[in-house]
Structure 1
Amino acid sequence: MKVMLVNGSPHKTGCTNRALEEIARTLEDAGVEAEIFWIGAKPVGGCVSCGGCNTRGACVFNDTVNEFRAKAAEADGFVFGAPVHYAHAAGSLLGFMDRLFYANGRAGQPNVFAHKPAAAVASARRAGTTAALDDIQKFFTISQMPIVSSRYWNNVHGNSVEEVEQDKEGLWTMRQLGRNMAWMLKCIEAGRAVGIEPPAQEAGTWTNFIH
């Protein structure tokens, strides 16, 4: 079992990464492999609605989005983390997720996210974390991904790694999130061992609000 943890901060070893490290260590203690993926310091734009992924099966902008998607195919669970900028999740992570999730499952390519547990994590100096968590979790709810919770909101506070270290409750929350993720993955694995597979899908019908 493996969990991919996405660091959506422009700082590779900043506050968001410190929260993800706490989760990763807890997962590994529970026997689950963990890998932290940094999206980088360059601005990441969102989907331009060009439709290219409908024929390519991948985003036309070949950057960290496609790199991560290749890794996601082999993962069993996900944690997406971001700092708070202006009371919402960092724009680069949201742009990254826009393109990642929009291109997912296109042109006959497999859906690499459906039915895989996911969690959102936010870091902030002071406030805005709950709005940021809501930003991120919406991607999960429309992708058939079970959301993993913790004992409190999945956030840490601090303006530096040293300050995050002082947020004992925040780090406790990250550890519990790691334990809950490991538990859910093991429950899914146990279910599959006795023949319980993801639910069947139907083709469905696309409608617009004006119809």
Structure 2
Amino acid sequence: MKVVGINGSLRADGNTFILINTVFEELRKEGINTEMIQLFDKDIKPCRGCGACRNGSCALENDDFNRVFDKMAEADGIILGSPVYSADVSARMKALLERAGYVAAINPEILRHKAGAAVAAVRRGGGMTAVDTLNHFFLNKEIFVAGSTYWNMVYGKDSGDVLKDEEGMRNMKNLGQNMAYLLKKLHPED
């Protein structure tokens, strides 16, 4: 089994990276392979709504979307992580979700019945909106959402500050354990 984590932060190894890696640690303990994709250096243009994605990939080929989406399609599970920018997910994450959402709406079998989990790095406010945005993507694509004991957000401003939010970091570990459990139920033969 494999889980791909998509870090929507413009900081390569910042707080969102730490959160996804914390979930990854729990998955790896259960023998689940992981791969991080960081959007900070990816060019993801907004969706044109042209409908040419009926063939299973986006017609815009002059950016990184298709390579990222192919990784999502190949994975058994997807973690979407974003810092909160202007009370929601980052612009790159939003562009990815819009295009992936369109491709998967036209080709629903591509993402259907995968496991998903959302995490957000939050300074003060907007965390619920960001988590909702990520979870709505999963739910509208028939992806089973792993939850935890509380909302999947951790507080911190500067890189590394999330490590000071002990409750939030415990929640990330529990989320990883719950995602591993869900994946094993979905793929008992692996």
For the criterion TM > 0.5, the same-fold answer is yes
**Displacement, 1:161?**
2.5
Amino acid of the structure 1 residue aligned with 2:66: N
Spell out the pairing of 1:71-86 with structure 2 (5 A cutoff).
Answer: 71-86=71-86
Contact 1:10 1:42 in 2 (8 A): no
**Rg: which structure is higher?**
1
Larger proportion of helix: 2
CA distance in 2, matches of 1:113, 1:12: 26
**What does residue 61 of structure 1 align with?**
60
CA distance in 2, matches of 1:160, 1:131: 21
Q: Residues 124 and 105 from structure 1, CA distance in 2 versus in 1: closer, same or farther, beyond 3 angstroms?
A: closer
CA distances 1:52-74 after superposition (whole Å, capped 9, x unpaired): 213x4311222322102222232
Q: CA RMSD in A?
A: 1.7
CA distance in 2, matches of 1:7, 1:113: 18
Classify the secondary structure of the residue corresponding to 1:89: coil
Higher mean displacement: 60-69 or 9-18: 60-69
Query: How many residues are paired up?
Result: 188
CA distance in 1, matches of 2:69, 2:22: 23
Q: TM-score, normalised by structure 2?
A: 0.91
In the alignment, is residue 99 of structure 1 matched against residue 96 of structure 2? no
Greater than 4 Å deviation, 4+ residue runs: none
**Displacement, 1:41?**
3.9
**Displacement, 1:179?**
0.3
Percent identity, please.
34
In the alignment, is residue 182 of structure 1 matched against residue 180 of structure 2? yes
Contact 2:104 2:141 in 1 (8 A): no
**Displacement, 1:105?**
6.8
Gaps of 5+ in 2: none
**Displacement, 1:178?**
0.4
**What does residue 203 of structure 1 align with?**
none
**Displacement, 1:124?**
1.2
Higher mean displacement: 32-41 or 166-175: 32-41
Higher relative contact order, structure no. (Cα contacts within 8 Å, ≥ 6 residues apart): 2
